[in-house]
Structure 1
C-alpha cells in the first residue's frame, strides 16, 4: 500500500484521520489509520448504543419544556418536543442514518450488499455498531477513506455525549488563514479556534499550533503572508 522508493523526497506515511495526521509507526506502515485512532474509534462506537438509550427518552426530549395542560391549552395534544437537537439524533435521520451511511460505504468497498437493517433506530443501531466494530480493523488497514469515517464517528459521539451530560458545546472563532508553505505557495485555509481548547489544527495541510509560543509563531507567519500579499498587490 505505502511504497518505500529510494528517492530522497520520500515522505513517511501519516494517519489519514483529519485531527491526527501523525506519522505511522514502522509496524503501522501498511495501514491508513493509526492504532490509537482505531482504539479511540472502537470505544466511541461501543458507547453509541448507550448514549442513544439515554437520549431516546421523553424526559430528555421534553427537558426544558413549559408545562402545558389541557385546562390551559384547550387541547390534549402534547406539545412538540423543544429539544430538536435531541430529536435530530434519535429520529430516522440521526444516529442510525449516520452509522448506516458509513456501513454502506464499507460494504460497497468490500463488494457486499447494503446493510439489511433499516427502520426503527433502536433496533438498527446495535446492528450498525456490531458491523462497524467487527470491521474497524479492516477499515483502518485497507480502506483509504477511513479517516473521514473516523472523524464522523468522533463528531457523532461528541454531539451525543454533550447532550447527555448537558454540556454546552464550545464556540469557535475565525483566527485568520493558514500561513503554512505548500507546493503552490501557501495553504490559505481559514483557521478556527475553539473556546474550549488551546489547540489549532489546519484541516487542509495538517499543520498544528498547540502552545503559546507556537501561537505567536502562527500570528507572525500570518502577518508575513499578509505583508507579502500586500506587496504583490501594490
Structure 2
C-alpha cells in the first residue's frame, strides 16, 4: 500500500510525497519548494525517484531542476512544464498511465486552469492528486482555458468513485467555504462542513485531503446545475451556470 506524506509549503501550498515501501520508489507530486521537499523526504529515509507535475505554474514545477539535479529523479508531466525550464523526461496526457514502483496511476486531462493541466489517479488506492483543478469547495481560476473546457474537466473528476480521496494543492478551504455558503445557504451538508472546517483551521489542522463524495455534496462548482435557478435564468445550460459561478467567485469579497 502506498504511503502518502503531506506537508505545508510556501504560503498555502501543500507538498506531497508518495512512497511505495516495497520498491522504495518515491514521487513528489509537484515541486513547490525544492529544499522543503527534499528535507521531508530525507527525514523519512525516502529517496525521491520521480517528479510528477500537474501543470506548469512555478509553485508546482519551479523546484523541478533543483530536485532533479540533487536526486536524478525522472520528471513526468504535461508538455507545458517546459515553459519554466525543466522539461519533462516523459510527457503524458489523458489516457496515459505512469508507474511508481508497483503502483499504477492513470492520467486525466483536467485542463482549464492551464491548458495542459493533468491529474494522477491511483484507481487501486482510490486516490487522486488533482493539483489546482479542484479544491475543497472550490476550483481553480480559468487562466488559460475556457469555461467549457474547465466544466468538462470537473466532470472527469466527478465521474471517479465517490469514495475517492482527493489531494488538492492549496489550503483555500475557508475562503471557498464563505463563497459556497453564500450561494448555497440551505444545504445542510454544506452547513455542517463549514462548521467542521472552522474547527480544523482554528486548531491549525489541514482540510486536505477530502473525499469526492463530500465535494459532490458541498462544492458549488460541481453543484452548478443545481444552483442555476438561484443565480441566473432557469433555462441556462450547466456550463453557463458554472461559468457564472466562477466569474462571481473571481470577484467575491
Bin of the TM-score, shorter chain as denominator length: under 0.3
Question: Which of the pair is proportionally richer in helix?
Answer: 1
Report which structure shows greater RCO (CA 8 Å, sep ≥6): 1
Question: Which of the pair is proportionally richer in strand?
Answer: 2
In the superposition, the TM-score normalised over structure 1's length comes to 0.27
Larger Rg: 1
In the superposition, the TM-score normalised over structure 2's length comes to 0.26
